[in-house]
Structure formats: C-alpha cells, structure tokens
Amino acid sequence: CPICGAQFSTAAALFRHMDVAHPPPPTTFHLSVSVPSGGYVTPGSGDYLAYSTVTLRAYPYSGYQFTRWGGDASGTSTTYNLYMNSDKNVVAYFEKVPVPVEGTIIRKELEFSGSGDGIVPVANVPLGVRAKLHVWGRNDMSISQGMGIYWFVADPDGGIAEEYTDWGGTIGPYPKDHEFISSGQFDLNKVGKYTTWIELLMGTQDNPEVVDRYIGDLCTVKAAVPESEFRGFEITSYV
C-alpha cells in the first residue's frame, strides 16, 4: 500500500543517516616507521590491530649505535611498546659509534740560533735571542686522522711570549708524525725560566680532542756576563 511504502522509505533513510553519523569503529590503525640512517626497526610500517600494543625493536648496523626514538615514541631503550589507539608515526635515530683518537707528542725542540739547537727543556740559552718552537705529533691509530696543535709560551714573569695554533690536516696511520713550527719568533729577553703548555689535537678540525699534553719547562735563559768583569784581567807574556 502507498502508506506502507512511505514508511519503509522513511525507515531506510533514517538508517542511512545513522550509518553516516556513527560509522563502525576502525579495526586497524596505520603505523609509519622511518629511520634516517644507521639501522632498522622491526616490525616495520603497516596496519596493526586497533587498540593493540606493538613492540618495536631498534637494531643498529655495524659501526652505529641507537640513540633515541622520535615522533609518537620516546626514550632511549632499543625496545618500545607502542599502543595503537590511532595512526602513529615513529622515527628511530642512530649515530656512528665514536672512534677514540690516539696520538703522542714525541719531540719538542727550541730553535734560537739555527735548526735543532736543543731538546726541550733547554738550559743556558743566551739572553736576548729570538726563538722558534718545534713540536712533533704522532698518529698512534691504524687509520688516518686529522691533527692539530695548540701552545703558549710564558716568560719568567708569567707574561705570554707566544700563543700559537695550527691544523696540520690529515696524518697517515701509525707511525706517521707531523712537525708543527712557530709561525714567527718570540723574544727570550728575560733571565730565568720560560714555561710552555702544549696540546696535541686530533679528530675533526671543528671539534678536535686533546690526545696528549705537555705542561712544563721550555728553557732557562742565563744572564749575560757584564763586560766590566773582564776589564780587570791582564794578558801576561812569557818568553
């Protein structure tokens, strides 16, 4: 009958409206896993049962280490339990394992009248001479590494006679060494003990590590003998 048909049409429209307003709950949520570099995560990206817990595990490649989770996960443990109550995005971060750098200051020379005047510490250096410091650094590693130097020289009164830094570039594996030389000269114009602080730097030029250090005496400057002390001497001739 016409009335019955109208009732059925109205009921069908009502059910359609209810389906749109109240869709059935999702049965799965999507998990997106990304790794910039250095390792992988299991399980990976995919659809997982809604309101379940997914246990993520981070695995580093050789030479890398896991550092932390990002996105919808957090912490530094290699295992993370993720509750799937919505779509999730997770990032796993890895970094290269730091390689310890090793090197040694193997020689220190003070040049004040010509090359190779004396091994540091040098005694009885004449007053008033100008000097250069030579320092040799050795790479003690089986691979090539960047190498640099820093030093300062203090006079007997504690003043800075010279401050110097240099980067020698990449030095070959053990037993390769590199010589660093003062770019200029400094005056030894005070009687007494000069000291030095030397640091051997290795790694990257932007962020080097101090691998060896010398803190100690550089040289002792002696006073010149006054000319007047010689005037009382006479030369005697014997026949």
Tens of pLDDT, residue by residue over 64-120, are 999 999 999 999 999 999 999 999 999 999 999 988 899 999 999 999 986 558 999
Q: Higher-confidence residue: 234 or 31?
A: 31
Q: Which residues pair with 103 in a beta bridge?
A: 139
Q: What is the DSSP string of 212-236?
A: EEEEEEEEEEEPPPPGGGGTT----
DSSP state of 39: E
Distance, in Å, from the CA atom of 172 to the CA atom of 159, rounded to the nearest integer, reads 36
What does the pLDDT look like over 181-199, one tens digit per residue? 998 999 999 999 999 999 9
Taking the mean position of all CA atoms in its chain, how far away is CA 88? Answer: 35
Q: Is the pTM of this model over 0.75?
A: no
Tens of pLDDT, residue by residue over 211-220, are 999 999 999 9
Domains and CATH numbers, the chain: 26-96 (3.10.20), 103-222 (2.60.40.10)
| pLDDT tens digits for range 64-77 | 999 999 999 999 99
d(CA 215, CA 199): 9
Contact criterion met (CB below 8 Å) for 12 and 4: no
pLDDT of residue 239: 47
Q: Is the pLDDT of residue 227 over 80?
A: no
**Strand (E) or helix (H) holding 19:** helix 2-21
Place of tokens 């320092």: 135
Contact residues for 180 (Cβ-Cβ < 8 A; gap 6+): 134, 135, 136, 137, 149, 166, 168
Cα dist. 76→62, 88, 125 in Å?
19, 18, 59
Q: Please report the pLDDT score of residue 140 as a whole number.
A: 97
Contact 73, 35 (CB under 8 A): no
pLDDT on residue 178: 98
Q: How confident is the model at residue 5 (pLDDT cuts 50, 70, 90)?
A: very low
Q: Is the predicted pLDDT of residue 201 greater than 90, yes or no?
A: yes
Instruction: State the Cα–Cα distance between residues 108 and 154, nearest whole angstrom.
Output: 16
Please say if the pLDDT value at position 228 is more than 80: no
Mean residue pLDDT of the chain comes to 89
